[in-house]
Amino acid sequence: MQLAIFDLDHTLLPFDSDKAWNQFLIDIGAVDEDYYQENNERFYQDYLDAKLDIRAYQRFACEVLQNYSIEQVTEWRNQYIQDIVRPQLQIKALECIQAYKIEGFHTLIISATNTFIVEPIARLHGVDSFLGCIFEIVDGKYTGELTGIPTYKEGKITALDAWLDSQGTKAQTIHFYSDSINDRPLLERADQAFVVDPDQSLAELAHERGWPVIQFAD
């Protein structure tokens, strides 16, 4: 299988979809503003500093699904997708995905964001598959824990290998696009790495490795 893999936040999208979702919940009055603002900024800074505790963050991200019905949160998510995400889709990113599909590549998003948020955004981009952090559900209720492999740092490789095994196939070629030094493991695993509007650490690594630096921004 030939794979074209894309990170989501600050790669296909020009913003962080998880952070923006939390801000959306604050803006509509669904959550406590002070509590959410503090934690949203703290966890995001940890991500930028490449020291995020992914399980602790996802417990925080899951709280809204524990405090409200899935129907209510899904309605908010639909509004978030329509009002915040859709207007910021990047034409160059969409064209890149379609070009790979025409070439016969299987297109895949792998994101550290949870699949509750990733799934509708993946549909908007028309990718063939997606992987993300998966919230655990026990007896029909969200526990706040993750199930499976957290798709963060080295976990993206482990999750990808598990996904390939589940498909009964192997990766013949991997092209991977990302903005973040957190994705260094998968960038180094890929046959071709593409760096998209990188953070400083990744920009330095890209220069060292000779990886192309591109922009999806219009």
Rounded (5°) CA angle 136-140-143: 35
CA gap 25, 148 in Å, rounded: 27
SS3 assignment, position 119: helix
State the catalytic residue, choosing from 7, 16, 179, 183.
Answer: 7
Q: Is residue 18 flagged as an active site residue?
A: no
Q: 9, 16, 18, 183: which one is catalytic?
A: 9
Residues 6+ apart with CB under 8 A from 50: 153, 181, 182, 201
Active site residue 7: yes
Paired residues of 106 in beta bridges: 3
DSSP state at residue 194 = E
**Cα–Cα distance measured from residue 162 to residue 73, given in angstroms and rounded to the nearest whole number:** 30
CB–CB of 180/6 below 8 Å? Answer: no
Strand-strand pairing, 173-178 and 213-214: unpaired
Spatial CA neighbour of 119 closest among 135, 129, 106? 129
Active site residues: 7, 9
